[in-house]
Amino acid sequence: MAILNIIEEGDPLLRKTSRPVEEITPRIITLLDDMIDTMRKADGCGLAAVQVGVLRRICVIETEPGTVYELINPKIIAFSGHQENPEGCLSVPGKASITSRPMYVTVRATNRKGEVYDLTGSELLARCICHEVDHLDGKLFIDEGIHLRPYVEKRKK
């Protein structure tokens, strides 16, 4: 596995719309594995392919240690409720914002085996799904309409 370079705010690639994956190839499987390693190394809970310079509709999420969701061509098919919580991003280091997201989200995606499945998440998982799907559409959490309060510098640990 490889640790990939995470691109940051200001890179024009982050504002592009990612293309669908038409075939799950060994290259896609390697990308998934590398994205998981990269996300974990960066201490994140989600990562979209565009964040590592690949314009494909792929993201990985791990909000609970050991439970990784691989989402290929994800599409949000249902959402409800409302939450306002702090949000950050590996591509916007050192900043956080209070965002407005659904409390519950259902996403339809394909896994690495080519199986289509639905994933329903609440709270952090719902926020993560929305955040990563936004990346695939060229949006960042700091964009107008997503954040409720302007982003602020995160405290140093």
Rg over CA atoms, the chain: 15
Mean pLDDT confidence for 61-90: 95
Kindly report, residue by residue over 98-137, the tens digit of the pLDDT: 899 999 999 999 999 999 999 999 999 999 999 999 999 9
Among 8, 132, 144, 153, which one carries the catalytic annotation?
A: 132
How many C-beta neighbours within 10 Å does residue 40 have? Answer: 16
- Report domain extents, the chain: 12-153
Q: How confident is the model at residue 154 (pLDDT cuts 50, 70, 90)?
A: low
**Active site annotation includes 153:** no
Q: How confident is the model at residue 157 (pLDDT cuts 50, 70, 90)?
A: very low
Angstrom distance (rounded) from CA 149 to CA 96: 10
CATH of 12-153, one of 3.90.45.10, 1.10.357.10, 3.40.50.2300, 3.40.630.30: 3.90.45.10
pTM: 0.92
Kindly report, residue by residue over 126-149, the tens digit of the pLDDT: 999 999 999 999 999 988 777 666
Mean pLDDT confidence for 49-59: 98
Nearest CA among 87, 91, 82 for reference residue 15: 91
